[in-house]
Amino acid sequence: MDKVSIARNPRARHDYHLLETWEAGLVLTGTEVKSLRAGKASLGEAYAHVRNGEVWLEGMSISAYLPGSYNNPPPARSRKLLLHTHEIRKLIGGTSRKGLTLVPLELYFKDGTAKVAIALAKAKKLHDKREDLKRRVAERELARGIKGKRS
């Protein structure tokens, strides 16, 4: 199982508590796939939502494939995510609860197929972000101290 990462959402783990994750396929055109293979994608402003019993990814930007001419779709168009019906039902139940949203975590190729990892997430409050930052700084200092004592 070969997994090649294309793009990550760096703010997802910082801004959200991730509750459950899924792997979904993407409906793409040929020139979009070629652009992804060149690594020209961004998940920075992306989010997912359920519309008419289907899951859609909005705000993900895939740069135009230059040799693609008029076949190139718009860079930030809506893209349908491919999930099983029981997974979509779980997502509908999760997003109907107050404060939960769907956040894309990573875009990657798995065995030659483009996939996106999405998570059901709850937004962190400001004090949660501060606590996480303090905890990471303390862990880093502890690791430095242990590393320094070994030499």
Domain ranges of the chain: 3-124
Tens digit of each residue's pLDDT, the chain (151 residues): 678 888 888 888 878 888 889 999 998 888 888 888 888 888 888 888 888 888 999 988 888 877 767 767 767 788 899 999 898 888 888 887 777 888 999 999 998 889 999 998 888 787 777 888 888 888 888 888 876 666 5
Give the CATH H-level superfamily of domain 3-124. Small protein B (2.40.280.10)
Helices (H), the chain: 12-15, 30-37, 85-96, 126-150
CA dist 148 and 87 (Å) reads 48
Place of tokens 């997430």: 121
The candidate with the shortest Cα–Cα distance to 7, out of 39, 48, 54, 38, is 39
Task: Look at residue 151 in the predicted model and tell me its pLDDT.
Answer: 52
